[in-house]
Chain A
Amino acid sequence: MIGTSHELCTMPLPDHHRDMEDYGKGVARWCPGCGGHSILAAVQRVCKDMQYPPEKTVCVSGIGCSSRFPHYMGTYGFHGLHGRAFPVACGVKFRRPDLNVFVITGDGDCCSIGAGHWVHAIRYNMKMVALLFDNGIYGLTKKQTSPTSPLGTHSNTHPGGSVLPPINPLQTTLGFANVSFVAQTTDWNPAHLYATIRKAADHPGLAFVRIVQRCPVFMRDLYGDIASNPDELIYLSHEKGINVKPGVAKTFKNVLAHDPTNIHKAREYAEITDGIPIGLFYQNIENSRYDDYGAYNMGMSNKVKQNAMEDMLDQYTIRNSIT
């Protein structure tokens, strides 16, 4: 790269420049037309652009179609339990500040069975990128109503149409304590998708990204029209926001200026139902991070530990037991 060998250079050099292939593995087994494919490509590209060492990168997921994601990455992966991606990811990161962590979760995984962990992961605010693949349905288990299914969705559990209003993941996340980064993008706008994940990767805390995702098999109608019509997207624009190339930006007819430091406006815009707002809703880089707390006191030597243990035992030791 600089034209010198490792031995000669006093500056640490990466082993080699990594390209897209370094981040891929196998063939993704999602349905044709599934939004997962483009999200996978975007994450791989971000890893490449960040030059994340694959061995220092961990993708943690729950269970669902979306949660198969780690199997298609050339990094370390953890495909765990339904709803439990966040606790595992937080455990991975807590004492390993050197690892780059991605969390991949579905709308059922995150907003239903794992909702408790969702609240707390946001509050822990450890540095990681959390991608909510929101297709508004349970995909893997074949079309049951999800907490984000629009009211009236016909599914196998609600053949007559779902009866409750959906959870809005943006609005919800923006209500959690210590929230520090909330963005929304779609699987069908690769430039914006990439820019969003790229921005998330830079965020010093938990970056929560809701990706509006198409499920061509079970939810053909949900985003079918929208995806072919860029006018349905509302582009949140701000210098501190998610910025795509001017050429791409020009394609958005609906633009809304939004300062992502303003949480009140963020909450207001999260409620927009007339079109899909995409961009950075909120960012705060000052929030406390639980991984700072977790990384405390690492790397203590065995000798120090041993002495500390002996001191502790002293407190329980019976002195001059026979006088």
Chain B
Amino acid sequence: MDNGSVSNQIISKRSSVKPKRIDQAIVEIVSDSGEGAQKCGQSLGAISAQMGNGVWTVEIIPAEIQPPARSREGASGIRVRIGSKKVTNMGNHADLVVALNEQVIYGRLRQNAYHKGTIMLIDDRWGTHEVEAIRHQYATALKEFRALGIEVHEIPMEPECLKILPDTRKGKNMWVLGMLSYIFDRDLGKAEEQIRSIFKKKSKAVVDLNIQLLHAGYVWAVDNFPLHYTIPAMEVSAEQVVMNGNQALSLGVMAAGIELCSMYPITPATSVSHHLAENIQKVGGIVHQAEDEIAAIGFAIGASYAGKTPVTVTSGPGLALKTEFLGLAVMAEIPLVIIDVQRGGPSTGLPTKVEQSDLLAAIYGEAGDAPKIVLAASTIEECFHFVILARKLAEAFRTPVILLSDANLATGVQPFPRPKIDTDWIAPPNDQSPWQEGIKPFDWDPQTGLSKRPIPGQKEGMYTVTGLAHGPHGRVAYEPEINQNSAESRSRKIAAFQKTLKPPVIHGDPEGDLLLIGWGSTLGAIEEAVDKGRALGLKVSSLHLRFLFPIVPGLVEIFSRFKKVITVEINYSDTPGDPMITQENRRYAQLAWYLRAKTQCDIDCFSNVYGQPMNPGKVLEMIKKEIANHKSSHVTS
């Protein structure tokens, strides 16, 4: 059958109902693991991006591969936020949720994903289930959801899909995609394209079956569902690409001309190496899966020492294991890019959830004095471009560079302007010309601390790298001055790099009542909250740090223009007023702690470790409260 004409028929059918214009929608699809909710949501996101909408998607991932069915902790799914403007974060509460069972909803309710007015489309099969206990659970749940003000619609997904499928565990997701495509007025042709691309490795029969499901879901919604919206596209001039943060990191690695990714699998960093394993050979590179994280970085350091350009990709527990080698790379001045896609910690922590708790470990994790460059990407676009930047900095300053990302960026999908690949981004080839006689392997420039390094294969450059204290010749040093001098040189080159940085750009007015400071994936949520606060007349601004070590210049002066400065972070801090917590023992969020030390300004923090991306609504609440508090304390004092 010809799908094209079918989709035309379908589209003509619904033309009688005029969709209601909305400027954004937050949609969730939640199910047991393995029901394809993520595929459905990713498709909805991709279709919307292709239609010119702003999009942000976040995956909801349980810790286990196949947790028991119908369990609260097993909630697996995805949130898709679609807008008429650029979307930079996951937003607050969902406007609409599709649930394949009622139990997984409890898991999401615990995370505050829904509120009064959220529309729920739930598979009604559980209401007639042969097991009485399940029927009872379903009925109770629906009562509870309704009591919360959730607008529940029971949808006959099971019987509708059974008309097409013998077993509905695979395929229902595409029926749901069809239903959502009608509800949000998505382009059916693009949805079909999307299905063809998802199943490109499968047979035509599989593709046709899924398109049939898509159409069935669509038609069912046309005939039976009362709600119909449209989200107009935004104006975009530049050509866009749409991908998640880990894909962007991987593409950045390749665009940087990095030819070796030496890694050990760890969530949520692994998919960077999966993407590289699939593609890097096309640009002459290779992935090495090492026996552990220590070996992964050791291997990368060996390759870098031998003039090759490596990256090692990891997450918190892996970063911890790499610290001794990181110290060696600092000491021996070996260029290296380390990507840390952060997750919840300490220890195994929250493997699939977001946290920004590795900041201080990245800056100060090594034993001994080990200055190096630490930067953090705050958007998916930056995930791409910062790898190239990190590679260049590593080589120019002969140092390891840690690039921080996190679980939110890793799986979040957002469109950004398509990069124009430049061959200047690619690491230069290995220099094998003879080493200039008279130049020592650590010929530190007294002004900048910089030096050039010999590469094996360069005649007359022979030297021995050592992690022991060493002078300019690279030989083991026994004189106390040499250790002091070499430490100075390694520190000085980082200072020389700091001199090239510019003060950060402030979002909002350059002065006011409150300044929020963020770093990493919270950018979108913070700026959205600041914009909303400013629309309410509040004097709030924000700034976002990309360079964490060394720190950008001008902060003290900027801070002095605001009555209060607060960092917004996804990591732990004590709450003032809690039992045992005093001004003396209160532990601050990591950036706040660091900035307090750096600037000696009284910087407060707003942080938590619920494992959730930063929520703009919560940030806005905090803004209102802080400004009100400040005003009232001012009046009374």
Contact = CB atoms under 8 A, between A and B. Distances in A.
Contact of B310 (A91, A310, A312): A91
A75 B463 CA distance: 7
Count chain A CB atoms within 10 A of each CB in B243, B294, B462 and give the residue with the most: B462
Contacts of A321: 49-52, 233, 236, 239-240
Interface residues of A, number: 65
Contacts of B457: 55-56, 96, 98-99
A298 interface: yes
B467 A81 contact: yes
Given A71-B466, A309-B251, A94 B282 contact: no
Interface in A50-88: 53-56, 58-60, 63, 70-71, 73-81, 84, 86-88
A306 B425 CA distance: 10
Nearest to A301: B284
B10 to A, nearest CB: 18
Contact of A302 (B236, B279, B423, B460): B423
Given A71-B466, A77-B463, A305-B426, A58 B456 contact: yes
Interface in B612-634: none
Contacts of A250: none
Given A74-B462, A78-B302, A310-B421, A300 B291 contact: no
A100 B305 CA distance: 14
Contact of B283 (A63, A94, A119, A308): A308
A35 to B, nearest CB: 21
A58 to B, nearest CB: 5
B260 interface: yes
B485 to A, nearest CB: 20
Contacts of B295: 84, 86-87, 90, 116-117, 120
A1 interface: no
Given A305-B257, A312-B251, A318-B242, A91 B419 contact: no
A322 interface: yes
Contacts of A312: 251, 254, 279, 282
Nearest to B461: A55
Interface string B227-242: 0000001011001111
B257 A58 contact: no
Contacts, number: 211
A317 interface: yes
A88 B242 contact: no
Contacts of B476: 71
B464 A313 contact: no
Nearest to B278: A312
Nearest to A320: B50
Q: Which one of B299, B415, B460, B476 has the greatest number of beta carbons of chain A within 10 Å?
A: B299
24 contacts: A55-B458, A56-B457, A58-B456, A76-B454, A87-B297, A87-B298, A88-B301, A91-B303, A91-B305, A92-B456, A95-B303, A95-B308, A116-B292, A120-B295, A296-B281, A297-B285, A303-B423, A305-B284, A308-B283, A309-B421, A317-B240, A318-B50, A321-B52, A321-B239
Interface of B: 49-52, 187, 233, 235-236, 239-243, 247, 251, 254-255, 257, 259-260, 262, 279, 281-286, 288, 290-292, 294-308, 310, 324-325, 328, 415, 418-419, 421-423, 426, 454, 456-468, 475-476
